[in-house]
């Protein structure tokens, strides 16, 4: 039980990678609260957990929502030791084809959301005597992907924000790291495949898989395993790291 007695808040925790992380943390002994923008999905996730998860709803890109969600999670859990900033969205387009609203929303959720949730969670983790923050970046924050300018910029920003937070809060015994997944078998990926592949989304899945050295798409549980490692004492001497979990995509 690598997280026995720890209290963890996972954003975007109702589905996909976020739900897999919340479940794995719970299985490893943590008391978990999920935050999600979708109330119905959040309720469903709590049911799937057998009622083990706490739950709060809001938009991580909005300052007041972020403050309230942290407060509600702390009230439910009795404190906070771990924050996983997983909530994210994905839009396509270059700087000339994506409009202002797309850019603002992409940066707002993926980057500002990490800042805003951390702004209110860090003081709570300090009160607990230290802990860990795991931010969700992407392989798209490490390498350029065509027609993903806003997404890439937001995820690259998460990497640098992670490093800055690691430097700022090391004296408070808070480790801050981020994960950089490649293609993962989630509803977000499925929607992207349907958008890009039209009547044959399977072709896009095969294309994503072909880009990796392992020739497959990751499962959410594989990303959750990496998040567990970074959040646990097994990673006690690791901070400020951007860890690719991409099947070798970024190694090529």
* 32-40 contact pairs (CB < 8 A, 24+): 32/8, 32/77, 33/7, 33/8, 33/9, 33/72, 33/73, 33/76, 33/77, 34/9, 34/10, 35/9, 35/10, 35/11, 35/60, 35/69, 35/73, 35/87, 35/117, 36/11, 36/12, 36/87, 37/87, 38/14
Interval 14-29 mean pLDDT: 98
Residue 42 is predicted with a pLDDT of 98
Q: Could you read off the pLDDT of 198-237 as tens digits, one per residue?
A: 778 888 888 889 999 999 999 999 999 999 999 999 999 9
Which of 115, 148, 151, 208 does the annotation list as catalytic? 151
pLDDT reading at 179 higher than 90: yes
Answer yes or no: 151 catalytic: yes
- Does domain 7-182+219-251 match CATH 3.40.50.720? yes
Q: Could you read off the pLDDT of 75-129 as tens digits, one per residue?
A: 999 999 999 999 999 988 999 999 999 999 999 999 999 999 999 999 999 999 9
Q: CA nearest 52: which of 37, 30, 79?
A: 30
Interval 129-138 mean pLDDT: 98
Residue 8 is predicted with a pLDDT of 99
Rounded to two decimals, the pTM is 0.96
């Amino acid at each position: 039980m690598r997280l026995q007695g720890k209290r963890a808040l996972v954003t975007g925790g109702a589905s996909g990678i976020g739900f897999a992380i919340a479940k794995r943390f719970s299985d490893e002994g943590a008391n978990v609260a999920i935050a999600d923008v979708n109330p119905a999905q959040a309720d469903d996730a709590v049911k799937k957990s057998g009622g083990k998860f706490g739950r709060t709803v809001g938009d991580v890109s909005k300052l007041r929502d972020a403050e309230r969600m942290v407060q509600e999670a702390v009230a439910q859990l009795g404190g906070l030791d771990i924050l996983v900033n997983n909530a994210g969205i994905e839009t396509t387009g270059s700087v000339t084809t994506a409009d202002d609203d797309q850019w603002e929303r992409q940066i707002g959720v993926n980057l500002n959301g990490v800042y805003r949730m951390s702004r209110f969670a860090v003081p709570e983790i300090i009160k607990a005597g230290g802990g860990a923050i795991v931010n969700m970046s992407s392989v798209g924050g490490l390498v350029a992907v065509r027609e993903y300018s806003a997404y890439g910029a937001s995820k690259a920003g998460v990497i640098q924000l992670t490093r800055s937070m690691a430097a700022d809060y090391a004296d408070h015994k808070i480790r801050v790291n981020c994960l950089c997944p490649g293609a993962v078998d989630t509803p977000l990926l499925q929607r992207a495949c349907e958008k890009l592949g039209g009547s044959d989304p399977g072709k896009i899945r095969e294309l994503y898989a072909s880009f990796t050295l392992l020739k497959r798409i990751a499962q959410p549980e594989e990303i959750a395993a990496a998040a567990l490692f970074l959040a646990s004492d097994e990673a006690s001497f690791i901070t400020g790291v951007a860890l690719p979990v991409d099947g070798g995509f970024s190694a090529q």
